[in-house]
């Protein structure tokens, strides 16, 4: 997986905003499940964005891994308790959700609902 500091910095800001929303402006304590869900949704959202606007139609497994890895590392930089051993939960779910392009529209709807769009 490729470390991409530019992505991580951009992801970090958006993740902070998203977690603020999920935690009601940090008045509700977040649990690890909240962090997993945020990483999963955000990784899928970024991958679908790449799928729609990238240089070619499709998502390579390396692209999914690179986006997910950098999302996890961005969150880890903000929440040190989100250790690398927990990242596998995120990787597994993101790969599962993105395995079939025929479900991408439904997945995008789920992501939009999660973010309240």
Instruction: Give tens-digit pLDDT for 57-96.
Output: 778 899 999 999 999 999 999 999 998 888 999 999 999 9
Asked if the model's pLDDT at residue 117 lies above 90, the reply is no
What confidence score (pLDDT) does residue 36 get?
A: 95
For residue 110, give Cα distances in angstroms to 67, 70, 95, 113: 19, 22, 16, 5
Tokens representing 3 are: 């470390």
Q: What pLDDT, on the 0 to 100 scale, is given for residue 93?
A: 97
pTM for the full predicted model: 0.92
Q: Which residue has tokens 């499709």?
A: 58
Confidence of residue 102 (pLDDT cuts 50, 70, 90): very high
Please give the pLDDT value at position 33: 93
For residues 75 and 30, is the Cβ–Cβ distance under 8 A?
no
Position 4 scores a pLDDT of 87
Reported as a single tens digit per residue, the pLDDT across 13-57 is: 999 999 999 898 889 999 999 999 999 999 999 999 999 997 777
């Amino acid at each position: 997986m490729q470390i991409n500091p530019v992505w991580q910095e951009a992801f970090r800001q958006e993740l902070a905003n998203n977690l603020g929303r999920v935690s009601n402006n940090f008045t509700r304590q977040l649990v690890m499940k909240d962090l997993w869900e945020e990483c999963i949704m955000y990784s899928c959202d970024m991958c679908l964005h790449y799928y729609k606007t990238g240089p070619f139609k499709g998502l390579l497994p390396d692209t999914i891994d690179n986006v997910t890895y950098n999302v996890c590392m961005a969150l880890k930089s903000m929440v040190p308790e989100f250790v690398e051993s927990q990242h596998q939960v995120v990787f597994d779910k993101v790969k599962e959700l993105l395995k079939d392009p025929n479900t991408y529209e439904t997945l995008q709807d789920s992501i939009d609902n999660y973010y309240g769009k």
